[in-house]
Copies of this chain bind each other. A is one copy, B any other.
Amino acid sequence: MRRSFIREILEHTSSDTISFAGGLPDVSLFPHKELQTATHNALENAESLQYGTSTGYTPLKEQIAEHYSERGFPTAPENILITSGSQQGLDIICRYHCGASITIEKPSYLGALNVFRLNSMETTSIPLTENGIKLEAFKQSIAKSKLAYLIPDFQNPSGRCYTDKTRENIAKMLEDSQTLLIEDAPYSELYFDAPHKSISQILPKQSYHLGSFSKVLSPALRVGWIRADVELIKPLIAYKEAMDLHTSGITQRIVSEYLKDSESFEKHLQILRVVYQEKMHYFCKQLELHLPDFEYIEPKGGMFIYGKFNGVDSRALVQECLKNGVVFVPGVEFGGGNDEIRFNFTHSSFDEITEGLKRIKSVIDLTKS
């Protein structure tokens, strides 16, 4: 097993390095006070310190189920399996389907690629277009795949968002070929214009929908979940149990207490959407100013700007950039092209965005001269 570029970078960069690498939220936007209050309430009772059930803390499962139902996707607590982050959710599913064939996007999420490797899965990568995965190639691939793994909302790393038409086509194709869908949805609430209907909602009996509080509340909680049909959830419980017994009862209770004030959560999401969109626009403006050769499509949500410097080896570039106090992830890490790059625009401050891009510019200027 290889370690992830991003997580190794996280461990070895100094505090002076400006990082556009990880999918990190903006610390200043965490609902810090509200989470402090929620934590205080979560620990009121000593029973909250005891072992819990493997499927998760019931009130939290109820709240998540309600959240789905309110958005037109009827869901009961029995459809929810709480996991230690959605990373674990993906691993549980893939461990259960160990060795299976799976159709994925190209490029795709680094942490998912590691999970597929760990579970000896046969991956087939289908390129992304602006509207989502290439449909004809996808159809051919899933005819031979047991599973498909997609990130339709503000995809990681590409930032692409599937059109509604593409979603419907995909659901139909999956139904026809009886391929199970794993839909990874950590960025779904981080839309700049409007939310999208999940593919799972069109295909509820045949899909695992992965959710997470990492991008919208706090990654340190490590609380995520799998939403699936009860028959799909059932066999996963023994895996969850063998893997870590259950997710922390304390962090589950913190989330549950926080969600009790649903208005406050909605307000918080609204702030994230507005500020992240501002940051994205600022990042794009600075790219045009300092790195006008960078080709990309503006994302409509999420955390990433993906694109390329035509003909530049981005792996060589990042090594030089690291020496100059700035880092990003080369597209190759995600199965993308040699000249492709993923920038995270949510974590850094406005000043850091400017400074970081200037540093990249100076590295490129040096290599040119």
A101 CB within 8 Å of chain B: no
Given contacts A3-B237, A11-B53, A39-B43, contact A245 B87 (CB under 8 A): yes
* B3 lies within 8 A of A218 (CB): no
* B51 lies within 8 A of A220 (CB): yes
Given contacts A242-B114, A242-B118, A244-B91, contact A43 B50 (CB under 8 A): no
A14 CB within 8 Å of chain B: no
A327 CB within 8 Å of chain B: no
A2 CB within 8 Å of chain B: yes
* B54 lies within 8 A of A1 (CB): no
* A222 lies within 8 A of B245 (CB): yes
A238 CB within 8 Å of chain B: yes
What distance in Å separates the Cβ of A120 from its nearest Cβ neighbour in chain B? 10
Given contacts A28-B46, A43-B36, A46-B28, contact A54 B7 (CB under 8 A): yes
Contacts of A239 in B (CB 8 A): 1, 118
A4 CB within 8 Å of chain B: yes
Please provide the chain A residues from 106 to 121 with a CB less than 8 Å away from any CB of chain B in the complex. Answer: 111, 114-115, 117-118
A27-39 CB contact bits vs B (8 Å, 1 = yes)?
A: 1101010011001
What distance in Å separates the Cβ of A117 from its nearest Cβ neighbour in chain B? 8
* A85 lies within 8 A of B244 (CB): yes
Contacts of A10 in B (CB 8 A): 51, 53
Residues of A in contact (CB 8 Å), total: 63
- Which of A11, A25, A43: most chain B Cβ within 10 A? A43
* B32 lies within 8 A of A46 (CB): yes
* B22 lies within 8 A of A46 (CB): no
What distance in Å separates the Cβ of A77 from its nearest Cβ neighbour in chain B? 13
- Which of A7, A10, A47, A95: most chain B Cβ within 10 A? A7
Contacts of A47 in B (CB 8 A): 27
Contacts of A243 in B (CB 8 A): 87-88, 91, 118, 243
Among the listed stretches A124-132, A141-149, A247-255, which one makes contact with chain B, having 4 or more residues with CB under 8 Å of it?
A247-255
Partner of A245, one of B7, B46, B55: B7
A271 CB within 8 Å of chain B: no
Contacts of A245 in B (CB 8 A): 7, 85, 87, 111, 222
Please provide the chain A residues from 17 to 67 with a CB less than 8 Å away from any CB of chain B in the complex. Answer: 22, 24-25, 27-28, 30, 32, 35-36, 39-40, 43, 46-55
**9 interchain residue pairs of minimum CB distance:** A220-B249, A1-B238, A49-B218, A114-B242, A88-B244, A222-B248, A32-B46, A51-B219, A84-B244
Q: Would you mind naming 28 contact pairs between A and B with Cβ atoms under 8 Å apart?
A: A1-B235, A1-B242, A2-B238, A4-B241, A4-B242, A10-B51, A11-B53, A11-B54, A22-B51, A27-B47, A30-B50, A32-B46, A35-B43, A35-B49, A39-B39, A39-B40, A39-B43, A39-B250, A48-B220, A51-B214, A84-B222, A87-B242, A87-B245, A91-B244, A111-B245, A118-B243, A218-B250, A220-B249
